[in-house]
Structure 1
């Protein structure tokens, strides 16, 4: 995880989402093997969409994020367009299906 893109409070998360037209959050937990295995695959997908800004949130560092964003498991992937959630995937993510969904949204927003 790139510390430069890690968010540590609800205020930072809200600021990130509201200040990027296309914002993507990767929400994980420290001891989550699925989170760690999925991350490089998601980063590879997101690299194909350069206008989407990506940030990371560790639930262990921001425990109140679970209630704030209605998160029941990890990992959770959320894509926002203009501050509004348009895509949410959780736990076991099928990477190719996820990529197709992101691609559809990305090209509709251009």
Structure 2
């Protein structure tokens, strides 16, 4: 997963990509550390890029995206958030939403 280092770079990415997954984590978060490899492993199954951001390093992301818990996984299509999973992220419903996003990007 590529890392987002600023809110500005994130805005630029959203305009350049039709679909994107954003994995949000923070420092000292054991749930984040456990979930990250599970989500990262899914990347090979989907045609859209996966990005991560550590909101302890980029706090503006938390404010701009109204993030109140970590970990969180957000899906975006055409620059708009289409799904949000936070805290204990269930993999099966996440995959279902990513499958829908995959179909939407095929047009």
Q: TM-score normalised to the size of structure 1?
A: 0.89
Give the gaps of 5 or more residues in structure 1.
none
Q: Aligned equivalents of 2:60 and 2:101: distance in 1? A: 29
Count of residue pairs the alignment pairs up: 106
Q: TM-score normalised to the size of structure 2?
A: 0.92
CA deviations 1:45-73 (Å, max 9, x no partner) are 23210x21111110011012111000000
Give the gaps of 5 or more residues in structure 2.
none
The equivalent position to 2:35 in structure 1, one of 38, 42, 47, is 38
| Contact kept? 2:18, 2:78, Cα under 8 Å | yes
Q: CA RMSD in A?
A: 1.2
The answer as to 2:93 corresponding to 1:97 is yes
CA deviations 1:3-62 (Å, max 9, x no partner) are xx111111011111211111111110021111110011111223210x211111100110
